Amino acid sequence: MHKVIKTNYARIIIGVLIALLLFLCWLLVKEYNHVRKIEDINSYKDLVENLRHKVPLSEKDVDIVMPWMTFNYLNSIFKLPAGYLKDNLNISNTRYPNVSISKYVKLAKIDQGVFIDSVKSSIAVYFLKNNLIK
Partner 1 sequence: MPPFIGFILSYILLYKYIALFIFVFMAGLIVPIPVNIVLVAIGAFSNQQYFDFKESLIIATLANYFGDICAYTFFLRFGKDILREKYAKKYSFFMSLEKYFIEHRHLSIFGSRIIGLFGTPVNFLSGYMKVSFWEFTLFDILGNFIFVLSFLTLGYVVGDEWINISGFINTIMGIVTVIILLCTIYLVYRRAHKHRVDTH
20 is an interface residue for partner 1 by CB under 8 A: yes
3-state secondary structure of 92: coil
Of residues 8, 12, 43, 76, which one binds partner 1 by CB under 8 A? 76
Task: Figure out which of the listed residues 1, 5, 45, 61 binds partner 1, where binding follows CB under 8 A.
Answer: 61
The CB-side HSE value for 77 (13 A sphere, CA atoms) comes to 14
- Residues in the site for partner 1, rule: CB under 8 A? 3, 6, 10, 13-14, 17-18, 20-21, 24-25, 27-28, 31-32, 34-35, 38, 40-41, 47, 50-51, 53, 57, 61, 64, 66-70, 72-73, 76-77, 98-100, 102-103
